[in-house]
């Protein structure tokens, strides 16, 4: 791989987030890549009469505004655009490929009933055997079944990143990493499960063709393509799921490393060549999800900074609003807690009253509750950080047992990678070297997949392609 491509046109990466969306521009200067965040806008679901929905028009307008802002910054032209984002939610399409309605948000309550009703037709155990992933009511399968229960007419559908690409002229596809989050993919064949579609009464012909990350989908069309910089722009399916994209942005070689995608929630896992499954894996609720180069992301959902956010909301309601950086600084000077939390206890996943929920668990464990006065926030913070680090260590121990790997390094990516206190506690709890990745690792991974696609002739589903992506990630995000 050359240090820089011969085609020095710019690249654009779009990251759709449930709280904010970003449009970033990569340009070349003296053979080095320079990445600039060009546009960011807030996002969030909106309660409508029909339920909780995403404001699709606002998302489209925000992303396209970002692309227009890129135009004057890249007079050399834009070579390609790729989009990653959150998984599971989808847009239903009419016969012309236009959106029939705003997409539902995965948090909508309709999914709870759909999960219960669907498991009367196909058991949770059988579903797990086929897909190899943790079953969550937010998964696409339950949402599609909720459509069926409500009498909504069947229609073609695309997940959000693939929908935006198709809107701009791309071939309508289901990108592999995103597809594996639908709970509709057979982990062995790595294609749509005909059994699940049949048992759920869903039409498999309405699902798009699954393609690997790194697939060229056609040229940008429509009004944006009238801008000179976008006159010859390729549309690429990256790792459309943002976590898979973030993992692709980790420039790690070898087989002795694990990752923690750290944010509101934590995904603790490692990359394997094949899915890992069995009764013990299922009992531990690990998932096998798609990765770049047909690799497998074997990980578990663990609670994360959700606990802190909920505590901060509770303290803010009482007029106490310290910054997270101040809380973490003060927490480092607190004594080590004698009793730690089970951070994945269902009660701690709920909204509101988090200090009270934490104390209820402490009391149930036979420990003294913490003073809930906002001035005692550093003690709560210390308890949460120590508890998360222990949970990470427990999860990594199980990962080694299930995969047979010997882990020596952890790469922490996402917004939580900047939490030096938690990083230190994680290193102490695990005994592993902790490397802080980029907080924008999904953007790095997005660009790396684009470059590997454009600069190599490797099959996108090959391990060699995964290696090429890693090399580009290293070029874009060299060790400090």
Catalytically active residues, by annotation: 242
Can you read off the two tokens belonging to residue 144? Answer: 């599609």
* Strand bridging mode 78-85 / 234-237: parallel
446 to 35, 146, 306, 326, 368: CA distances (angstroms): 12, 32, 26, 33, 47
C-alpha 382/C-alpha 156 separation (Å) is 48
440 to 22, 124, 473: CA distances (angstroms): 10, 35, 12
Nearest to 289 by CA among 305, 266, 269, 306: 269
Angle, helix 463-476 to helix 441-455, in steps of 10 degrees: 120
C-alpha 243/C-alpha 346 separation (Å) is 23
Q: What is the CA radius of gyration of the chain?
A: 22
E-assigned strands of 130-277? 156-159, 173-175, 185-186, 191-192, 209-211, 215-219, 234-237, 257-262, 265-272
C-alpha 214/C-alpha 61 separation (Å) is 26
Nearest to 36 by CA among 21, 23, 24: 24
Within 10 angstroms of residue 17's Cβ, the number of other Cβ atoms is: 18
In degrees and rounded to multiples of 5, residue 326 shows phi and psi of -65, -40
Q: Contact, 396 vs 429, CB < 8 A? A: no
- Secondary structure percentages of the chain, helix, strand, coil, to 5: 40, 20, 35
Concatenating the DSSP letter of every residue in 240-296 gives: -BHHHHHHHT----SS-EEEEEESSEEEEEEEESS---SHHHHHTT-EEEE-GGG-E
Q: Contact, 394 vs 427, CB < 8 A? A: no
Beta-bridge mates of residue 12:
25, 81
471 to 148, 248, 303, 442, 445: CA distances (angstroms): 45, 10, 31, 15, 11
The side-by-side arrangement of strands in the sheet containing 20-29 is 32-42, 20-29, 10-16, 78-85, 234-237, 215-219
């Amino acid at each position: 791989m050359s240090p820089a491509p011969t085609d020095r046109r710019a690249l654009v990466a779009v990251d759709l987030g449930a709280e904010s969306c970003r449009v970033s521009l990569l340009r070349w200067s003296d053979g080095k890549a320079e990445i600039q965040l060009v546009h960011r806008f807030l996002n969030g679901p909106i309660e409508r009469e029909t339920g909780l929905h995403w404001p699709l028009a606002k998302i489209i307008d925000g992303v396209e505004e970002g692309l227009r802002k890129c135009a004057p910054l890249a007079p050399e032209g834009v070579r390609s655009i790729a989009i990653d984002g959150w998984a599971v939610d989808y847009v239903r399409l009419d016969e012309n490929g236009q959106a029939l309605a705003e997409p539902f948000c995965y948090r909508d309550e309709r999914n709870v009933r759909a999960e219960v009703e669907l498991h009367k037709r196909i058991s949770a155990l059988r579903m797990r055997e086929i897909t190899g992933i943790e079953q969550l009511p937010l998964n696409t399968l339950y949402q599609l079944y909720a459509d069926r229960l409500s009498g909504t007419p069947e229609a073609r559908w695309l997940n959000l990143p693939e929908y935006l690409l198709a809107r701009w002229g791309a071939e309508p596809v289901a990108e592999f990493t995103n597809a594996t989050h639908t709970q509709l993919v057979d982990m062995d064949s790595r294609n749509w499960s005909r059994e699940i579609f049949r048992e759920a009464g869903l039409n498999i012909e309405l699902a798009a063709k699954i393609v690997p990350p790194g697939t060229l989908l056609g040229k940008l069309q429509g009004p944006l393509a009238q801008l000179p910089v976008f006159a010859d722009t390729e549309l690429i399916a990256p790792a459309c799921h943002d976590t898979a994209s973030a993992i692709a942005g980790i420039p790690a070689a070898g087989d002795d490393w694990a990752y923690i995608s750290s944010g509101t929630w934590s995904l603790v896992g490692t990359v394997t060549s094949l899915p890992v499954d069995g009764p013990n894996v299922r009992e531990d609720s690990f998932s096998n999800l798609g990765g770049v180069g047909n690799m497998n992301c074997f990980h578990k959902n663990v609670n994360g900074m959700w606990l802190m956010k909920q505590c901060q909301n509770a303290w803010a309601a009482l007029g106490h609003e310290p910054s997270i950086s101040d809380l973490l600084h003060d927490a480092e000077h607190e004594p080590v807690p004698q009793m730690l939390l089970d951070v994945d206890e269902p009660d701690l996943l709920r909204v509101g009253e988090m200090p009270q929920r934490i104390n209820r668990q402490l009391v149930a464990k036979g420990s003294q509750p913490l003073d809930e006065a906002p001035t005692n926030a550093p003690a709560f913070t210390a308890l949460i950080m120590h508890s998360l680090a222990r949970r990470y260590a427990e999860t990594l121990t199980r990962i080694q047992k299930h995969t047979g790997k010997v882990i020596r390094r952890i790469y922490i990516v996402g917004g939580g990678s900047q939490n030096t206190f938690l990083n230190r506690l994680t290193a102490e709890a695990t005994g592993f070297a902790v490397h802080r990745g980029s907080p924008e690792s999904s953007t790095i991974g997005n660009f790396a997949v684009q470059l590997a696609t454009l600069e190599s002739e490797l099959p996108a589903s090959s391990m060699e392609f995964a290696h090429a992506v890693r090399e580009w990630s290293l070029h874009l995000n060299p060790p400090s």
